[in-house]
Amino acid sequence: MKGRGTRTGAGNRGPGRAPDVDAPAATPAPDVDAPAATPAPLPATDRGRRRRAELLDAAEALFLAQGFHAVSVDDLGAAAGITGPGLYRHFPSKDALLMAVLDRIWERLAPAVHRAESAPAEQALETLLAAHLELALDRPAALELLLRELPHLPDEYRRLARRNHQRYVAVWVRALTDLHGELGEEQARVLALGVHGLLDSTTLRSRSAPPALDRQARSGLLDAAARRVLDLAPVG
């Protein structure tokens, strides 16, 4: 790539805007604005919210270790310290619980997507890269579940996933083509998905072979590698 190209606002490419409508190579996603799961209303108390988060953490670990279909409601309750039927105070079904686990990925990405859609190109890429790297390092189990279990979820949820992933990739594409004027949209899409695959696959691999490097060292190496692909200036 040459130089930095034309730095126009990432939100100024009207025709390039994705329909409100694919992660991996990166990550399929529920709709950024409207998570596809249909849980009961969020608890009103801190204790209730903590209990819900504990249930989601327990479900994520069990689904990953045993597979979604092998985990019973009683298994989930026991892991979270509640009776099996107590699950239904938080979620109407086991499917809804899995969808809520996956939606937490997109709750992490949504603020970055919204900021990047209206930010100048280089700032948009900085925002998107930081968010995706943080997600890949902090929630590799959820990313693995997303890849493994998404095909088994209801059609409506999968449609939302495809539509929203297109939106997520599109904001990367707009920023890349604005920043590097010589890039076409398909070239920019290949670069964006390549970066997603780099970050996701590296952190997923670390689940089966725990890395010798700590989180900060891995983050620095992955950030530097992604910046070389994107032709972004190094941090500092």
| CB burial of residue 57 (10 Å; 0-12, 13-18, 19+) | middle
Please give the pLDDT value at position 36. Answer: 47
| CB burial of residue 212 (10 Å; 0-12, 13-18, 19+) | exposed
Please state whether the peptide bond connecting residue 226 to the residue before it is cis, i.e. omega within 30 degrees of 0. no
Please give the pLDDT value at position 22. Answer: 38
Question: Residues near 69 by Cβ (< 8 Å), separated by ≥ 6?
Answer: 152
The pLDDT confidence band at residue 170, using thresholds 50, 70 and 90, is very high
Lowest mean pLDDT among 14-18, 99-103, 160-164, 170-174: 14-18
Question: For the whole model, what pTM was predicted?
Answer: 0.77
Crossing angle of helices 46-66 and 140-149, in 10° steps, is: 60
CATH no. of 39-91: 1.10.10.60
Please give the pLDDT value at position 2. Answer: 42
pLDDT above 90 as % of the chain: 43
Position 28 pLDDT exceeds 80:
no
Region 132-148: mean pLDDT is 90
Please give the pLDDT value at position 91. Answer: 87
Parts of the chain belonging to CATH 1.10.357.10: 12-29+108-236
Region 47-64: mean pLDDT is 87
The structure tokens listed for 30 are: 């529920």
Query: The CATH number of 12-29+108-236 is which of 2.60.40.1250, 1.20.1050.10, 1.10.357.10, 2.60.40.1890?
Result: 1.10.357.10
The structure tokens listed for 200 are: 């996701």
Please give the pLDDT value at position 208. Answer: 57
Please give the pLDDT value at position 210. Answer: 61
